[in-house]
Each structure stands twice: as structure tokens, then as C-alpha cells.
Chain A
Amino acid sequence: DAGVIQSPRHEVTEMGQEVTLRCKPISGHNSLFWYRQTMMRGLELLIYFNNNVPIDDSGMPEDRFSAKMPNASFSTLKIQPSEPRDSAVYFCASSFSGNQETQYFGPGTRLLVL
């Protein structure tokens, strides 16, 4: 099993630009999560999907952030426009209901907004 796949692994962009982060969950998993990790705030859940449907987006910082899951094997997290305070590591995780719903994390995308 390839595990959760995220791309890109590193992203450097300028303030105001659009950033799109991508995630492919583990095959067969029906829940997908987006987290953000910063030194100041630690790991925060941004949004999660169950069977491709957004269930809880209360962690999404503001309207500049949006996430989609068009099918069971792909999700995107978009930031538009990006700001320096968005600089963080963004993790995608997936789980399967029935396996005690353990979440398996991808390698993360390190985002730097200049």
C-alpha cells in the first residue's frame, strides 16, 4: 500500500498567489482529513470529509481556504489569496470506518508564503 500521497512536498509562493495542495487517500478509506501544523498552534484540524462529503469545516481559518473532494481518491485544499501567516505544514490523513478509525497521515506539504 502506498499510503496517503500528498503533493507537492514543498511549495514556496508569493503573497497573493493561489496555492493548491493535493491529496490521495489510502485506497478503500472513506474519511479524509486536512490538518495544519504550526509552531504556535500545533496540529489543527481544518476540515474532514466522509464519503466525499464535507462534514466539519469549522477549523477552516477563513474564506480564503477551500477544500474539495470530487471523488474517493482525490482531494484538494486551496488557499486564495495566500498570506505569509498561511506558512505551515499541511497534512492530509485518511481513515476507514471500522478500523477504530485510526487516521493515517501523508508526508505533509511544507508551504512558505513570502
Chain B
Amino acid sequence: AQTVTQSQPEMSVQEAETVTLSCTYDTSESDYYLFWYKQPPSRQMILVIRQEAYKQQNATENRFSVNFQKAAKSFSLKISDSQLGDAAMYFCAYRKHNNNDMRFGAGTRLTVKP
């Protein structure tokens, strides 16, 4: 069974600094997708970034980037120039190719200090 582990229940970062959120996953598949979702206090689940396992290049979306290490089954999220609006719960998620069953980690609560 595929599992997603986020080992950091809480993280804190100073405004304008950089923070990295960790995620590891367990799978025997070679083709899959990985996601980071953000859940602010409004509870809305917002897609932050997506990575296809067959792509070696790390995905980037503005201030958000990932470090995808396929062999290590690691998928960390780096937030640069942190802003107060980045404060939220962040969920790492895994989905096997051609399978709609998406597995979520337990989440990391990010606090941004002004």
C-alpha cells in the first residue's frame, strides 16, 4: 500500500526567509504523481505544485519549488521569500498513474512570523 509521511507536524519561518517541508512516500510503482496542497484557515484545499515521477526536472511555481528524489522517495517543498499568506497546513499527496486513489500525508502546519 502506498503511504505518505510528513515528519514535521509543525514548522515556523520568519517572513521573507526560506523554509523546506519534508515528505516521503512508499511505493513500488515507477509512474506516479506527487502533489503539495495548501489548506489555509478557510479550509479550502489549494493545489500548490505538482510533479510527475517520470520527469527528472524539479517542478517550480513562482516562490514554490520541490526537491524530488525518486530513488530516495522524497518530495520536499521549498517556499522562498515566505509571506504571511503562506501560513497554512500543507499536505503532501501521492497518486499512482491511472489510478484516482490519492493518498495524503498527515500535514505540516506552517507558521510565518512577521
List residues of chain A with CB under 8 Å of any chain B CB: 31, 33, 42-43, 45, 48, 50, 55-56, 89, 91, 93, 95, 100-105, 107-108, 110
Interface range for B: 20 to 34
Chain A interface, >50% SS class = strand
Q: Whole-angstrom distance between the alpha carbons of A93 and B102 in the complex? A: 11
In the assembled complex, the CB of B53 is this many whole angstroms from the nearest CB of chain A, namely: 11
Chain B interface, >50% SS class = strand
Q: Whole-angstrom distance between the alpha carbons of A50 and B98 in the complex? A: 12
Q: Are A33 and B100 in contact (CB-based, < 8 A)? A: yes
In the assembled complex, the CB of A32 is this many whole angstroms from the nearest CB of chain B, namely: 10
Report which of B37, B46, B100 forms a contact with A95, defined as CB distance below 8 A: B100
Report which of B44, B95, B100, B101 forms a contact with A108, defined as CB distance below 8 A: B44
Q: Are A104 and B100 in contact (CB-based, < 8 A)? A: no
In the assembled complex, the CB of A99 is this many whole angstroms from the nearest CB of chain B, namely: 10
Write out the residue numbers on chain B whose beta carbons fall within 8 Å of the beta carbon of A102: 33, 35, 47, 50
